[in-house]
Structure 1
Amino acid sequence: MSNGFHDQVIAILPKLRVQALALTRNRAAAEDLVQDAVCNALSAQASFIPGTNFAAWMHRILRNRFISNLRKRRDTTDIDDVPASAFATDAPHEDRLALKDLSKAMNRLPADQREALVMVVVQGMSYENLAEATGCAVGTAKSRVFRARRQLEAWLMGEPLQRGSAQAARAAQLTRALQSRLAPSADRVSAS
């Protein structure tokens, strides 16, 4: 095993752990997934082309291993502990509550959106590298992150009207009507 390859594997481990936690939502399963992915990478070391994107190659191995494990098992453990340590440590009480809400909301996201969001926002991966790592088009990668952000915002802001633009337009119309009824009354009071 070449020293450079070994060093790259060690350097990418923290990011692989974050990705594995986003996929599995279970610390023990995430550690097992990272270990399996590293073993796969070491055995496939000869297939890695030096000078190409090592991080994307490793993330793809981890993701493929996760999918392979899902196909074998067909059921996953659903534990509500996205690691708050991935976002912050020693936060004030209000921040810890916000992180807990964010963690619950993240767990509600579809796996592909959660994975994309973690890889881009937490790990700082580019959309191009995300697309390469997950085997999708760049537009699909951007769409997954956008939809995840939009859905998280909706959930964390109290799930605003989601039944379509007709209901939202009706609510806006009712608000304007109420404001117009109150405005003349205020004018009459001030005129007296």
Structure 2
Amino acid sequence: MTFHDQLIQITPKLRVQAFALTRNRAAAEDLVQDAICNALAAQHSFIPGTNFSAWIHRILRNRFISDLRKRRDTTDIEDVPASTFASAASHEDTLALKDLSLALTHLPHDQREALVMVVIHGMSYEDLAEATNCAVGTAKSRVFRARRQLEAWMTGDLPANDKLRMKVQELREKLKSESRQKTGIRAL
């Protein structure tokens, strides 16, 4: 498979990763375009037979970090159009998705990125470690901690640590409050 064929084949996965990083459709498209331009300019440095996916994902991630350092601005997940969801969900499912989206934004950046790359992209821990320039054990740990934290926030399981329990309780109350505001229900 040629370099260009591999680039075309991986572009949808790059879009997903870029969207997970930027949380803005337009910014994600710009990031993918910039990463592809960087990859094309550096194609001579790619060694055929090595992991193309990890190589291009690292370029995208590095481009995102460079852009972030230049701009230092963020975008709210609420800027995402509803049409990005694959199918219409029930009201309860929609609220759960919104809660999950908000909970994802509260994860540390490295954990959120690792979770998206493994769960959504189907990337192996080895590829994740190579793409993020960390040890395989660190990659596994990030995904594990992200899953455990999301599960605690979404199920209401409170950890034994008082500081963490208060943080989880605060986040849960914030999620409920935002959910009520969006559905027009006020707390009595």
Aligned with residue 138 of structure 1, among 136, 139, 144:
136
What is the match of residue 148 of structure 1?
146
CA contact (8 A) 2:77 2:101 kept: no
Residue ranges of structure 2 left out of the alignment (5+ in a row): 166-188
TM-score normalised to structure 1 length = 0.77
CA contact (8 A) 2:54 2:128 kept: yes
CA spacing shift, 1:99–1:85, aligned 2, 3 Å? farther
Alpha-carbon distance in 2 for matches of 1:136, 1:48: 20
Alpha-carbon distance in 1 for matches of 2:32, 2:44: 20
CA spacing shift, 1:123–1:81, aligned 2, 3 Å? farther
After TM superposition, the runs of 4+ consecutive aligned structure 1 residues lying more than 3 A away are: 78-88
CA contact (8 A) 1:80 1:103 kept: no
RMSD (Å) for aligned C-alpha atoms: 2.3
Residue ranges of structure 1 left out of the alignment (5+ in a row): 168-192
Aligned AA (1:38): I
Identity value in percent:
78
TM-score normalised to structure 2 length = 0.79
CA spacing shift, 1:117–1:19, aligned 2, 3 Å? same
How far the C-alpha of 1:81 sits from its partner, in A, is 5.2
> Larger radius of gyration, structure 1 or 2?
1
Alpha-carbon distance in 2 for matches of 1:142, 1:86: 29
Alpha-carbon distance in 2 for matches of 1:105, 1:70: 21
